[in-house]
Amino acid sequence: MANSVSVTMTTGRITREPEIRETKTGKKVTNVSIAVNQWNGKEEEAEFQTWVLWEKDAEWFCRNAKKGGYASMTGYSKTRSWENNEGQTVKVVEFWANKAVLCGGGASAPKSESSGDSSMLDTLAKKAGSADLPF
């Protein structure tokens, strides 16, 4: 196993009402669009990231999150590719959430709640070894 790890953390506004779907195999999933402001050296630019939540996390998020509210997500990037109707390969990068925290804002959104694995950073720290951590 390689000594590498992919961890992504994002905090931003939810851009649309979350909706739960089911895959062909019956798994519950939601795709969440998060708007993040990034500084390009001259001005802020909006970046829109797609975060994927599965099963109980997806249900929890759809039940509690509202468009316009703030969410903080922790997870990892995942690249998918497929061939479209014109025979071209399409690639998309998504972020798969291990943990989602609602930070308030939006209509009726709770002030702060979370789902997912709260021990993810502890697990990563153990894998990296405490001497290797910069904090």
- In sequence order, what DSSP letters do the residues of 63-116 get, joined into one string? HH--TT-EEEEEEEEEEEEEE-TTS-EEEEEEEEEEEEEEEE-STT--SSEEEE
101 within 8 A of 36, measured Cβ to Cβ: no
Residue 129 has pLDDT above 60, yes or no: no
Mean pLDDT over 124-134 rounds to 45
Residue 32, strand partner residues:
51
The confidence band for 106, taking pLDDT boundaries of 50, 70 and 90, is low
Q: Which residue has the higher pLDDT, 3 or 115?
A: 3
Q: Please state the domain extents for the chain.
A: 8-115
Tens of pLDDT, residues 34-60: 999 988 889 999 999 999 999 999 999
The CATH class, in words, for 8-115 is mainly beta
